[in-house]
């Protein structure tokens, strides 16, 4: 299910363009094999946000084939660290990033994101944008571990927060197959929209995107 009208979604997709032909090829490759990559309207939104933010250091949680990380680096020349826990996806991401010529800008780290983020905190890494697009039931953990890595006024962006409408209503999960993930996502959305140190909006773009501005002066470890 699209969370917006199918006709509207189809129209918006006709407006999509990525000026890098090799990135277009990678998207087509992934879509043909049903490998999840960010939706076209989500990609357009994120790339404009990165340009407006003038992002220099981006953390991505969930690499898949490395498509979005390459898009980020290509769009604004930022450095990207992307984290992937699946070995096959990690290997594919490393290969694609190298073949596309982004190895100098994009670094892939393998492992459970929770462990990798703790290591980054110990190393005093900082980021001005964090993009969370991994296991939906772990978004709260990823958020809490990413916050110490955020610079002042950093953006934390989370994808797929409306989960094909299931976050909004149980009618979109009639078999209750995803009830645990839905419950956790609802709890996560309530959590991030009530934090004093985060100014959050949820947008009906793609499969739902939350965008949060972090005020580190109000954040207490």
Q: What is the pLDDT of residue 221?
A: 64
Work out the pLDDT band at 176, boundaries 50, 70, 90. Answer: confident
- 41 within some domain: yes
Q: What is the pLDDT of residue 58?
A: 98
* 8 Å CB contact between 147 and 120: no
How far, in Å, CA of 150 to CA of 187, rounded? 22
How far, in Å, CA of 61 to CA of 83, rounded? 5
How far, in Å, CA of 40 to CA of 33, rounded? 17
Neighbours of 202 (CB within 10 A): 17
- 55 within some domain: yes
- 221 within some domain: no
Among positive and negative, which fits the CA dihedral 174, 177, 180, 182? negative
- Is the pLDDT assigned to residue 202 strictly greater than 80? yes
pLDDT digits (tens, 9 = 90+) for 70-121: 999 999 999 999 999 999 999 999 999 999 999 999 999 999 999 999 999 9
pTM, whole model, 2 decimals?
Answer: 0.94
pLDDT digits (tens, 9 = 90+) for 124-172: 999 999 999 999 999 999 999 999 999 999 999 999 999 988 999 888 8
Q: Looking at residues 188-199, what average pLDDT do you find?
A: 97
Q: What is the pLDDT of residue 118?
A: 97
Q: Looking at residues 54-80, what average pLDDT do you find?
A: 97
Residue with tokens 């709890």: 187
Q: Looking at residues 40-58, what average pLDDT do you find?
A: 96
Which CATH number goes with the domain that contains 44? 3.40.50.150
- 27 within some domain: yes
Mean pLDDT value across the chain: 94
Total tally of structural domains belonging to the chain: 1
- 175 within some domain: yes
- 35 within some domain: yes
Residue span of the structural domain in which 193 resides: 6-214
- 219 within some domain: no
Among positive and negative, which fits the CA dihedral 83, 121, 203, 194? positive
- 14 within some domain: yes
């Amino acid at each position: 299910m699209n969370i917006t009208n199918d006709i509207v979604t189809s129209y918006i997709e006709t407006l999509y363009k990525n000026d890098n032909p090799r990135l277009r090829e990678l998207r087509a490759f992934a879509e043909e094999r049903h490998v999840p990559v960010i939706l076209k309207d989500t990609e357009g939104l994120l790339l404009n946000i990165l340009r407006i933010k003038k992002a220099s250091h981006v953390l991505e949680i969930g690499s898949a084939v490395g498509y979005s990380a390459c898009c980020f680096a290509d769009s604004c020349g930022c450095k990207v660290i992307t984290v992937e826990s699946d070995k096959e996806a990690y290997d594919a991401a490393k290969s694609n990033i190298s073949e596309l010529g982004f190895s100098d800008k994009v670094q892939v780290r393998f492992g459970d994101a929770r462990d990798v983020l703790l290591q980054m905190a110990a190393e005093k890494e900082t980021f001005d944008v964090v993009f969370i697009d991994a296991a939906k039931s772990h978004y709260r953990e990823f958020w809490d571990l990413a916050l110490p890595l955020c610079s002042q006024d950093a953006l934390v962006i989370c994808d797929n927060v409306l989960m094909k409408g299931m976050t909004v209503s149980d009618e979109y999960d009639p078999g209750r197959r995803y009830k645990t993930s839905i419950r956790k996502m609802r709890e996560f959305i309530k959590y991030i929209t009530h934090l004093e140190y985060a100014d959050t909006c949820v947008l009906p773009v793609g499969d739902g995107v939350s965008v949060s501005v972090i005020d580190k002066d109000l954040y207490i470890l």
